[in-house]
Amino acid sequence: MTASAAAPARKRLFIRTWGCQMNVYDSTRMADVLAPLGYAPAEAPEAADMVILNTCHIREKAAEKLFSELGRLREMKRERESAGAGMVLAVAGCVAQAEGAEITRRAPWVDIVLGPQTYHRLPEMVARAARAGGAVIETEMPVEQKFDHLPEQAAPPGITAFLTVQEGCDKFCSFCVVPYTRGAEYSRPASAVLAEARRLVAAGAREITLLGQNVNAYHGEAADGGTWGLARLLRELAEIPGLLRLRYTTSHPRDMDEALIAAHRDIPTLLPWLHLPVQSGSDRVLAAMNRGHKAADFLRIVERLRAARPDIALSSDFIAGHPGESREDFAATLALVREVGFAASYSFKYSSRPGTPAAGAPQQVPEAEKDARLQELQALLREQQDAFNRSRAGMVVPVLLTGPGRHPGQVMGRSPWLQPVHLQADAALVGQEVQVRILAAHPNSLSGVLVSGEAASHILSAEEPAPA
């Protein structure tokens, strides 16, 4: 039999991803797992032999949005079946973990429901669904680690890449479903992380973002049997030739130790950007959230970070209207925002998640009041983000060029502070870090002009004046 005859039939796979960057990483790995079965990417669900909805349970009305999407896909599936084709429909991720068999009860046309810890078994699930002709549900959290069973990545990662190093959460914040949908904290062995990072760089990645539900709680096994924290892992990753930039997200204030703060001071590859969710500025609300830190603790961390790396910019997460939050508590959040000054942030009104402690808590804040508080908070955060972006004007900064822009002759990239930057430049420079003078700030990006085609040698501190 020839090699071409032995190759699996070509099929099309469409994955729709909601939520966090970890879901983006998981979607990529699901595509890798299915590639040996002959699945290649499809541009749209109606052209796909298999559709996976990779869901997130953090956002409001996540389950309702899923079932609305499943209703649309039902018609596509019927049309393909009437044309003699087929469509395997799978629901993955945190909503799948939380809802389980309820998904197939409400949407019996779904073939596979799988939690985030089981996607390494997708080929087996596809085969079982084809044989049984009924739904396959895999939402247990197995003892074996899925990373041990995943193939090497098949698709090129691009200039920027995500790399999951830690999963799960042991914090049990009152509002959060992650401990129930992702399980307990688990850190990948350091050797496995380093090996995957080297493969990503060899395939063309120049910036890697380390991912984890509590990424700075990383405690991976080292080759000598000891344990590495995130700071040690970052130092080793920074030694990989060809890797220009490192980031990590998402962090918890309780795990922001001195070694990690020192890493921001000592590792030039580690960019001056940190996402550190605080959620509230009120100690009373933080206690009700079970966050395990006070507002003053967060402020001390910010002070130490800025002493270690003066040009570091911070982003955060906030919840407005957590059960029991008074106007005074909300005012404390606004005061913390004003004291810190954030370059960007995510803010949401409290949304009940079934099974979480806050869902049944007394003193639920009225919806109209939550809306009003959120709008006030977001206005302040937007003001700070706009001010930060405007402060970059006139600076010369290193920009990693990641691809073409929307207009002829234009390329796009990212500043050290995660801002999109567009400029006129030769597309051959994509993949390089170049010096760019920032000309102006726009609502969601910066514009600049190329100073030199030479690779940037350092990150210009916000404290440094831009060259004349």
pLDDT, one tens digit per residue, over 115-151 is: 887 888 888 888 888 776 668 887 776 645 656 656 6
In contact, 332 and 295? CB cutoff 8 Å: yes
Closest CA to 422 of 456, 443, 399: 399
20 marked among binding-site residues = yes
In contact, 324 and 363? CB cutoff 8 Å: yes
> Residues 191-200: contacts with CB within 8 Å, 24+ apart?
191/222, 191/223, 192/147, 193/163, 193/165, 193/220, 193/233, 193/237, 194/236, 194/237, 194/240, 196/153, 196/163, 197/163, 197/237, 197/240, 197/243, 198/240, 199/152, 199/153, 200/153, 200/157, 200/161, 200/163
56 marked among binding-site residues = yes
Which range among 83-87, 299-303, 396-400, 455-459 shows the weakest confidence by mean pLDDT? Answer: 455-459
Whole-model pTM: value is: 0.77
What is the structure's pLDDT at 220? 96
In contact, 381 and 348? CB cutoff 8 Å: no
- Regarding beta strands 227-229 and 219-221, do their DSSP bridges make them parallel or antiparallel, or are they unpaired? antiparallel
In contact, 34 and 122? CB cutoff 8 Å: yes
365 marked among binding-site residues = no
Q: Which two structure tokens, joined as six digits, stand for 211?
A: 């991912």
Helix (H) or strand (E) holding 262: helix 258-266
Domain annotation for the chain: domains and CATH numbers: 8-138 (3.40.50.12160), 146-388 (3.80.30.20), 396-455 (2.40.50.140)
pLDDT, one tens digit per residue, over 425-443 is: 999 999 999 999 999 999 8
94 marked among binding-site residues = yes
